[in-house]
Amino acid sequence: MRFLILLSLLALSFSGFSQDAYHTNLVNYLKDNYNLVNPKYVLNNTEQTNISSFNIYGNASVSSSTTSGNFFSLSSKINVSSVGNNVWDAGYTTSSKTSVAQGDVLLYTFWAKKNSVQSEIVIFAEDNVTYAKELYPTLKLTDEWKRYFLPFKVTKAYAAGKMNIGLHLASQIQNFDIAGLTVLNFGSTYNILQFPSSLGEYEGYEADAPWRAEAASRIENIRKSNLTVNVKDVSGNALSGATVKIEMVEHEFGFGSAIVACRTPGNRCYNETYLSKLRNLDGKGHGFNVGVTENALKWDGWEEEWIGTPTETVNAVKWLSESGIKMRGHVLVWPGFDNLPEDMRANKSNLPYL
């Protein structure tokens, strides 16, 4: 009898830890399509336990319901009723359930769709004490359900419960649905470039997006003109049938982009695919020749290390300069105290301090 009772208890214990259909299908999808196997769960391994572990705060609310006909069986509707002074003034958060080692590659994934006209969320994985970010992209959601994959390599070890994971929501009033949010840990076996990634995607990034044909037409009409080449011999006589080769030495037009500093060599979220696009955007050797860091050279971003350390920023500027990309900075002092570091805001009436 004691043996049977023990078996029953063991069965109950293990049944509580078995992954659900959503997570099973996700793991199989990654195995079949990307040859990624044997992940560990950073969060829970069922939709219900993950939804139950998340907390909503700020001027936001959440409600969950069952759904059918999708890859997931549960979804959550999140409503944000007001804009915050900071994007993190409203959020949807949980903490890691297992430990993570330095250098592990984690895959943050979920499904989402917007219900409001616009919807913008900021994804994060961060130290729960210092709030130093391991992952912090901004995503604009689409009208239809879409699955997102966000791989990142952690810069240090985290004990269970020491990494915050979730969404910052207060950039705008919005309403959206989210489902299947989970984080998988693939250890240090795989190169991060092997993973599916939604980083760098934007609304209209598709190859057949309508704006591309319109842009190509404008380029043809506005940025191109005919060139006539007259070839003569040393006596000044015109040569017929001559073969002419013309090579552009330098592009006169400043073709630039905002650049994520931490993705350059030597920095914590180094990404060679990202850098290859800067240098060779069209696959024909044509890339950007002007750039600016997204936030790293802003006074507030530099002091509070939003994206990375000052050393990482210096590494980025040096690499970009050596790669022939002319760099621009940010204004030293922004208008208004809201865009200054916290100590400046706290002392805005203290003229000697300023």
pLDDT tens-digit profile of 254-311?
A: 889 999 898 899 888 888 889 999 988 888 888 899 999 988 888 888 888 877 889 9
CATH no. of 25-194: 2.60.120.260
| pLDDT score, position 284 | 85
Q: Please tell me the predicted confidence (pLDDT) of residue 112.
A: 97
**Over residues 325-352, mean pLDDT:** 87
65: which residues sit within 8 A by CB, 6+ positions away? 74, 75, 77
- Of 179-188, 250-259, 317-326, 342-351, give the range with the top mean pLDDT: 179-188
Mean pLDDT for 322-335 is: 86
CA atoms within 13 A on the CB side of 89: 13
The helix/strand/coil state of 344 is helix
* Pairing label, strands 133-135, 60-66: unpaired
Statement: residue 2 has pLDDT above 70:
no
State how far the alpha carbon of 271 is from the alpha carbons of 112, 180, 348, in Å: 25, 26, 40
Q: What is the pLDDT of residue 13?
A: 36
SS percent in the chain: helix, strand, coil, step 5: 25, 25, 50
Residue 131: its pLDDT value, please?
A: 92
Per-residue pLDDT, 63: 97
Nearest CA to 49 out of 182, 184, 186 is that of 182
Which segment of 4-8, 33-37, 44-48 scores lowest on mean pLDDT?
A: 4-8
Q: What is the pLDDT of residues 184-234, one digit of tens each?
A: 999 999 999 899 999 877 778 778 889 999 999 999 999 888 888 899 999
Choose between 105 and 271: higher pLDDT: 105
Find the range with the poorest average confidence among 21-30, 41-50, 99-108, 247-256. 247-256
Q: Where are the domains of the chain?
A: 25-194, 246-354
Helix ranges (H only) for the chain are 2-15, 21-34, 47-53, 210-222, 272-279, 299-304, 310-322, 342-346
Mean pLDDT of 164-180: 97
The pLDDT of residue 17: 54
Query: Residue 341: CB partners within 8 Å, gap ≥ 6?
Result: 299, 300, 303, 304
